[in-house]
Amino acid sequence: MPANLPPQYFEVEKKYRSAKAPEDKLAALEEMLAIMPKHKGTDKIRADLKRRISKLKAQEQKKGGKRVFGFNIKSEGAGQIALVGPPNSGKSALLRALTRAEPEVADYPFTTRVPLAGMARFEDVQLQLVDLPPLAGEYIEPWVPDQIRRADLILVLLDLTGDPLHQLETLEALLAEKKIFLSGGPTPPDAWSGIIKPCFLAANKLDQEGAEDTLELFTEMLEPGRYVLPLSVQRADNLDLLPGLLFRALGIIRVYTKMRGKPADKESPYILPQGTTVMDLAAKIHKDIAGKFQYARIWGGDKYEGQKVQRDYILCDLDIIEIHV
Ligand SMILES: Nc1nc2c(ncn2[C@@H]2O[C@H](COP(=O)(O)OP(=O)(O)OP(=O)(O)O)[C@@H](O)[C@H]2O)c(=O)[nH]1
Ligand SMILES: [Mg+2]
């Protein structure tokens, strides 16, 4: 039976042949396997690809001892946000649109094989977005859930040209197998079965025909208290809103400090978790300051300019604080 391979297959095969590093070879082999249609005609080629993948993995394992094909993107900026979603939903396109990173964007699934990070700006802070391979299929590389676990926030990007509810449920089921649960979704069966990660839902390709209707249906089906931000990366719909919403979803605030009689230091805000008190901030600046703390003055929010606040005052985003010792 003829194999009828799609044209992209030959492109990736070229990539495989020119790859030098074992991880590039492996990525290309896995991509070839992913785009290979599944039918009798391709049985032999698929089996051969699988065999080559296992052999390459085994060789590298022997060389390095530990896991060789791991990736670990170090967190930078105010928070790390993992881009998670089904194949082809536009995760890499979104990374391209919001940051200077230039991941490959293509109209076939499983384009992304390795993580790529970029920094998105929200006012005076930088948020790190990490593009990941899609979550689907038979095999998920262990570094993918590891990276998701380490992220501060999961940005789930669904595709309005398909069935977003089904996509979300599939994703949640795959993550649950890795003991990762999304906030607002199904909860772990008990406290020891996994971690609950904050998540932000977005649905892409609002520009496509029928997408508005799909969005409406999907919104109605969502659990109470869950929201989804519709996007079109292509048309830039709502892209300007996203960084600010991600900042809020990270559960962080910016606080500026000032010295008596001087203007506030607007250059480098303290990035703090919501709920941080003035005393927590003092302790973070220096333990001596915390020890000698008398009171603080505050500018911003709903306070009078320069109003005195005590140690247990809970800071708000954009507060300016002058600590008196
Ligand atoms: N119509 C439309 N197409 C889009 C939009 N955003 C991305 N696409 C297209 O969707 C396809 C997939 O985009 P990618 O960014 O590669 O998707 P991905 O989620 O990174 O895919 P994987 O890496 O395979 O998981 C590409 O052809 C994009 O041009 C959008 O807002 N509207
Ligand atoms: Mg991608």
Summarised one tens digit per residue, pLDDT across range 231-258 is: 999 999 999 999 999 999 999 999 999 9
Higher per-residue confidence, 302 vs 230: 230
Which residue's C-alpha comes closest to atom 10 of ligand 1?
A: 90
Q: 278 pLDDT exceeds 70?
A: yes
Mean pLDDT value across the chain: 90
* DSSP β-bridge partners for residue 118: 129
**Is residue 10 very low, low, confident or very high in pLDDT (cuts 50, 70, 90)?**
confident
AA identity, residue 295: Y
Q: Can you count the helices (H) and strands (E) in the chain? A: 10, 13
Helix (H, G, I), strand (E, B) or coil at 102: coil
- Rounded to whole angstroms, the Cα distance separating 159 from 87 reads 9
Instruction: For residue 89, report the distance from its CA to the centre of ligand 1, in Å.
Output: 5
- Indicate which ligand has the atom closest to the C-alpha of 159: 1
Pocket mutation for ligand 1, best pick of 8, 31, 35, 89 (most atoms within 8 Å of C-beta):
89
Nearest to 23 by CA among 105, 114, 142, 150: 114
Kindly report the pTM of this predicted structure: 0.80
> What is the Cα 312 distance to its own chain's centre?
33
CB 125 within 8 A of CB 247: yes
Taking alpha carbons only, the member of 215, 150, 152, 219 closest to residue 178 is: 150
**Residue 157 β-bridge partners:** 202
- The stretch 141-170 carries a mean pLDDT of 95
Which residues, at least 6 apart from 146, have a Cβ–Cβ distance to it below 8 Å? 70, 72
Probe target for ligand 1 pocket from 234, 237, 242, with the most ligand atoms within 8 Å of CB: 234
* DSSP-assigned letter for residue 261: T
Query: How many A from CA of 105 to the centre of ligand 2?
Result: 6
Radius of gyration for the chain, computed over Cα atoms and rounded to the nearest angstrom: 24
Task: List, chain by chain if needed, residues with CB within 6 Å of any ligand 1 atom.
Answer: 85, 87-93, 105-107, 109-112, 134, 204-205, 207-208, 232-234
Which band of pLDDT confidence, cut at 50, 70 and 90, is reported for residue 171? Answer: very high
pLDDT above 60 for 106: yes
Measured CA to CA, the distance from residue 182 to residue 196 in angstroms comes to 6
- Ligand 1 centroid–CA 219 distance in Å is 22
CA of 88 to the centre of ligand 2 (A): 7
Q: Which residue among 167, 232, 233, 239 is best mutated to probe the pocket of ligand 1, counting the most ligand atoms within 8 A of its Cβ?
A: 233
Where is pLDDT greater, at 288 or 206?
206
CB neighbours of residue 126 within 10 Å? 16
Of 200, 197, 181, which Cα lies nearest the Cα of 189?
181
Q: Taking residues 9-37, what's their average pLDDT? A: 83
E strands, the chain, are 80-84, 116-122, 125-131, 153-159, 180-182, 195-197, 199-204, 228-230, 252-257, 270-273, 295-299, 307-309, 319-324
Residues within 5 Å of ion ligand 2 by Cβ? 91-92, 111-112
